[in-house]
Structure 1
Amino acid sequence: METDVYGQDDNIKAVREIAVSDDELSEDTTAGRSGTYVQTIIISMRKRTHCPNGKEISSTYDVVMLLYNYCRVLSSINRDGGPYDRYPFLMFKESDMPPKSNYFKCVLCSKCTKPKERATVNKDITKYLRRKFLIEAKNGDIICNKCRHIFRKERDQKVLPCVKTSKSSSQTTATFSPPSVSLKIPSTSKSNAYCCICKKPGPKLIVISPDVRTATYVDNNILIPSGNRCCPSHICEGHLNDDALCRIKTTDESFVNRTYLLEIMNKMRKKIRESASRRLNFDDSNLSEPDYITMTGLSKINFSEVCSTLSKYLKNTPARTITTTVAIFLCKLKSGMSNRFLSTIFCVSKSSVRRAFNSVRQAFMSEFVPANLGFQHISREEIIQKHTRPLAQSMFGGIASNSAILVLDGTYIYVDKSNNFHFQRRSYSTHKGRALVKPMIVCTTTGYYVSVLGPYLADYRNNDASILTHMLKTNVEEIRDWVNEEDILFLDRGFRDAIPLFRRSRIQAEMPRFLKKGDKQFSTEDANMSRLVTKIRWIVESSNARIKTWKYLSHTLPTNQIPFIGDFVRIVCALSNKYAPPLSQCTDVESDQLEAAKMIHLSKMSNTLKEHVETENLLKKKLIWKVASECDLENFPRLDDQELRNITCGVYQMKLASSYIQEYTDEESDIFVHREDSNLLRIKIQSRHTSSKKHQLWIRYNESYIDSWYCLLPSWS
């Protein structure tokens, strides 16, 4: 019998020492009768023959296991004694069985080895396995001769002696570089059977392209051997994504050959030449976030999203990529630079810039603009819920109202004087004194652009009222189906001729009040209502100013671009809807409602100081006033910013205050104090528009707050 390292011979010896004859095996037991399985096993074990089923018993371990498994079956059938009392070897427990044999697998290739084909792993091999294959060998692990020969071959090739070659004239020494060079550069393990990043096996793996390997080395100083594979999810836009870079495992040094070194050098040379030939490059994403916002008006992520959306309508050309094409268009819109200047900084021809500008405009109008602008891109309910401030809803629609509130106004896009006389007359604005066209802007109370209509001509036939009347009568973009009877439109005084149409359509229109014939100043009620309307309507002026931040639309456009002005304005508004924050945002619904209630309450109050000035005829009385420098004004209240905002109900007046104060920094101010009522002041304020005008202002105060005020300006009643 062969010697077994796990003590299997002792178990078999115990079985052999049982003095049981063939006749005794068949006595009083079915299991031990002649020809049964147990008897056959024991006899086979004694004679070292084969089992009846033809399976060779190759080792003593197999014999014991075969007998043990059969005894377990018998024990489950007959548990009342029987042959187990006579044959105690049948009472083996599973814990008494010897462990399975170790087949001495190679730690590297997992191949079973014979005694003459293996060796124990030493320290040098352990370091080699850890450095190149990221395998941690343990004490007692073995390695096959084939893998050990590979280790020795690579170890011997690290340092080669110089080879001396003799020539007829003189003795010279030539040093040949080794096939593999060790570099102190982190590297991944080399394998094409599993992912080199997450170690996931195939088959759905892709070979890492040379461009990705070069980009990984340039950006992260990690070498990836040629032929390595990885999961497709690890690569995004020609680079390893952030998750892959976090999960990748590297060694401290790498082994590269001549071919790989030449490949890296050629790739680096190509990148350097491309960088030198292109002054402004959006493909390599080497620009910072502020650079993207300055050049394109979008953040880096938003710019990539726009390029991805337009990629189905654009294509790469030998002169420019899709990213460069979109960047040219956005840079021209944002900065207003000429085609010649753009061709210089992007290193493309002027004709290429012109074609790029036209291609991107068409791509935007195909899908992006219809999805983010127009009456059909958003429902009326969504406008009410997401893009209407509670301040406007509380002041004009009511808290429980279901009214959509829109603000309308036209903006001006200046154009060159046309050679077409008919268009020259129709585009000339007598109000501005120059040629222009007027897009009509429709936005919400948060500054969200609902639609851009037009552009319209600027002659006397196309004032704001005529444009709005045309919009409703022709049902542009099905506006009459979108607007309901209870909806509210905020307009300026230029739409006054369209009021009869609103009344017939039962649409509520709000605009600043008009000065009645013969009056020099608004009544207190009309002035307060104008203030409430202005509190809501200012948003459209800021929306128009946001459009003009794209400098191309604030410049005077050439006549050949007039047919596309509407597209440019719509593209800018769609980009603002998609990526820009709201111009007016509600931070707290309750605070908006409280401010609305406060303004409504103040608008219904009468101005007692105005009545006092008119009753006492304080405007014409001069002797009752004395100069403020002769009086002590220490009891005048000192208000902080929040208290001033409570008085003005906004920040517009506070922004103008510093400009008004500059008028009196170098000279004395015209401030007077009433001789009998020391808490009443009269101030003369220089008009900011006319040098020959000074406005009269009265203020009544006490030690803690401003009680009332009155000014002779037409709208300051």
Structure 2
Amino acid sequence: MFQKQSYSLHKYRNLLKPFMIVACDGYIVDCFGPYKATTSDAEIMTNLFSEGSALRSYFRENDIFILDRGFRDSISFLEGCGYKPYMPESLIEGEHQLTTAQANRSRCVTICRWVVEAVNGHFKRDFKLFRQEYFHRSLPHMMQNFQIAAALLNRFGVRFVDNIYATEILEIIRQQMNLENNLANMVEAQNMNRRTSYFQSITADRNNILYFPILEMRDLILFALGTYQIRQARSYYGEHVRFHGGYRIEVCSEQFHSSEYDLRGSTNGTTLIRGRIKSRHVTRRQYYVYILLENNIPGRTGITEYCCSCLVGRRTVGCCAHVMTLVWYLGWARHQQHISAPAEFLDGVIVREDDEE
């Protein structure tokens, strides 16, 4: 019975689920569990906040809960309790991409929720016991050990603080939260993903993209509203340069009427760039990235609009990792003396098919 209840069809292994409530500064409010692998997060949340529970007395009306999509079935319950739950948006049935409003709201959630993932990572980082599999005889003490580890993290762990650019990031979010992604609308209306004659290929390794503004690291952080996408961009760069020879970047050679689609920026001095970024998860999938530049405008203000064909590619609050990959390389990385791809020492471990031929 235990083996059946502890087997996760999602992870394809036996596991138990501790449950934590974490404050925005990384302080662990409490730990619960362990729960069987087949228990959903929404079910756990509903049981913990049932009528008369201690948590209902601890939390106050209008308290904000930052959740992931696994809690979607408990959202209405939490709202009925007087709380304000937020989670990333889900795709509408039949759609392949979030709307601009959905993508923006999702970014506002994930920009806060990373604290929970970071705290989860600290358990494995700081305690060897949680980096390995538990033996059956030690399982009765697992939750007690987990609670002790949580107490140690609360006592000796470093509290999270706001980013040094937090004030500027909040102001950017307020300005761009309700902006429509007009470039994405134009790309969709003109079916640009399938048009090859509109674009001329260029090589990112040459210095023939002089009109792309030179960016500082501060510009990249404010453009992405954080550092996560910047770290992902370096990984995408490493994969493309090492295994695919480079990026495929194209410049639109046709004239398009920016006023027809209310594109931001001047009507004359703009340049549209298209890049193709291969997916890190699906081998045969590639994403189309479009960046609209206003010529001769320095800094990140020279990038007037951008979009991508990925799930969250229509967002105007921050950007996806695929957009950041091009912005990171063209605006910052190619001006550095040396760019190293992550984990280069692992490239020679696996025998690649092209090496065998």
TM-score interval (norm. to shorter): 0.7 to 0.9
SS of corresponding position for 1:569? helix
2:183 corresponds in structure 1 to 609
Correspondent of 1:433 among 2, 7, 12: 12
Correspondent of 1:686 among 255, 258, 278: 278
- What's the CA shift for 1:503? 2.4
Correspondent of 1:579 among 141, 153, 156: 156
Residue correspondence of structure 1 range 200-211 to structure 2 within 5 A = none
Deviations 1:638-665 (A, max 9, x none): 1110011110010001111111112332
Q: What letter corresponds to residue 247 of structure 2 in structure 1?
A: S
1:358 corresponds in structure 2 to none
1:441–1:452 contact (8 Å) kept in structure 2:
yes
SS of corresponding position for 1:577? helix
1:428–1:434 contact (8 Å) kept in structure 2:
yes
TM-score (norm 2): 0.77
Residue correspondence of structure 1 range 71-220 to structure 2 within 5 A = none
Residue correspondence of structure 1 range 438-453 to structure 2 within 5 A = 438-453=17-32
Between the aligned partners of 1:643 and 1:613, the Cα distance in structure 2 is 26
RMSD: 1.8
Residue correspondence of structure 1 range 230-269 to structure 2 within 5 A = none
The alignment-based identity, stated in percent, is 30
1:206 corresponds in structure 2 to none
SS of corresponding position for 1:665? helix
Q: What letter corresponds to residue 290 of structure 2 in structure 1?
A: W
- What's the CA shift for 1:436? 0.8
Between the aligned partners of 2:237 and 2:246, the Cα distance in structure 1 is 11
1:664 corresponds in structure 2 to 240
Between the aligned partners of 1:684 and 1:502, the Cα distance in structure 2 is 42
2:50 corresponds in structure 1 to 473
Distance 1:696 1:457, change over 3 A: same
2:100–2:180 contact (8 Å) kept in structure 1:
yes
Distance 1:450 1:626, change over 3 A: same
- What's the CA shift for 1:668? 4.0
- What's the CA shift for 1:624? 1.3
SS of corresponding position for 1:520? coil
TM-score (norm 1): 0.39
2:311 corresponds in structure 1 to 714
Q: What letter corresponds to residue 452 of structure 1 in structure 2?
A: C
Residue correspondence of structure 1 range 261-340 to structure 2 within 5 A = none
Distance 1:648 1:657, change over 3 A: same
2:333 corresponds in structure 1 to none
2:324 corresponds in structure 1 to none
1:443–1:451 contact (8 Å) kept in structure 2:
yes
Deviations 1:213-251 (A, max 9, x none): xxxxxxxxxxxxxxxxxxxxxxxxxxxxxxxxxxxxxxx
1:697 corresponds in structure 2 to 289
2:170 corresponds in structure 1 to 596
Q: What letter corresponds to residue 570 of structure 1 in structure 2?
A: Q
2:169–2:222 contact (8 Å) kept in structure 1:
no
Correspondent of 2:118 among 520, 532, 542: 542
1:504 corresponds in structure 2 to 80
1:623 corresponds in structure 2 to 197
Q: Which runs of 5+ in 2 are unaligned?
A: 256-269, 315-357
1:562 aligns with 2:159: no
2:7–2:14 contact (8 Å) kept in structure 1:
yes
- What's the CA shift for 1:593? 4.2
Between the aligned partners of 2:50 and 2:292, the Cα distance in structure 1 is 52
Q: What letter corresponds to residue 44 of structure 2 in structure 1?
A: I
Residue correspondence of structure 1 range 8-23 to structure 2 within 5 A = none
Between the aligned partners of 2:233 and 2:115, the Cα distance in structure 1 is 21
1:638 corresponds in structure 2 to 214
- What's the CA shift for 1:634? 1.4
1:488–1:509 contact (8 Å) kept in structure 2:
yes
Distance 1:631 1:554, change over 3 A: closer
Q: What letter corresponds to residue 564 of structure 1 in structure 2?
A: H
Between the aligned partners of 2:9 and 2:241, the Cα distance in structure 1 is 39
Residue correspondence of structure 1 range 392-403 to structure 2 within 5 A = none
Between the aligned partners of 2:122 and 2:114, the Cα distance in structure 1 is 13
Between the aligned partners of 1:668 and 1:646, the Cα distance in structure 2 is 26
Distance 1:663 1:510, change over 3 A: same
Q: Which aligned runs of 4 or more in structure 1 are off by greater than 4 angstroms?
A: none
Deviations 1:300-335 (A, max 9, x none): xxxxxxxxxxxxxxxxxxxxxxxxxxxxxxxxxxxx
Correspondent of 2:3 among 421, 424, 427: 424
Deviations 1:351-402 (A, max 9, x none): xxxxxxxxxxxxxxxxxxxxxxxxxxxxxxxxxxxxxxxxxxxxxxxxxxxx
2:168–2:222 contact (8 Å) kept in structure 1:
no
Between the aligned partners of 1:465 and 1:496, the Cα distance in structure 2 is 7
1:486 aligns with 2:62: yes
Q: What letter corresponds to residue 134 of structure 2 in structure 1?
A: L
Correspondent of 1:675 among 253, 271, 290: 253
2:202–2:249 contact (8 Å) kept in structure 1:
yes
- What's the CA shift for 1:617? 2.5
Q: What letter corresponds to residue 454 of structure 1 in structure 2?
A: G
Deviations 1:128-182 (A, max 9, x none): xxxxxxxxxxxxxxxxxxxxxxxxxxxxxxxxxxxxxxxxxxxxxxxxxxxxxxx
2:221–2:227 contact (8 Å) kept in structure 1:
yes
SS of corresponding position for 1:473? coil
Distance 1:474 1:570, change over 3 A: farther
- What's the CA shift for 1:716? 1.4
Q: What letter corresponds to residue 511 of structure 1 in structure 2?
A: M
Q: Which one has a bigger Cα radius of gyration?
A: 1
SS of corresponding position for 1:656? helix
SS of corresponding position for 1:466? helix
1:699–1:710 contact (8 Å) kept in structure 2:
yes
Correspondent of 2:106 among 516, 530, 536: 530
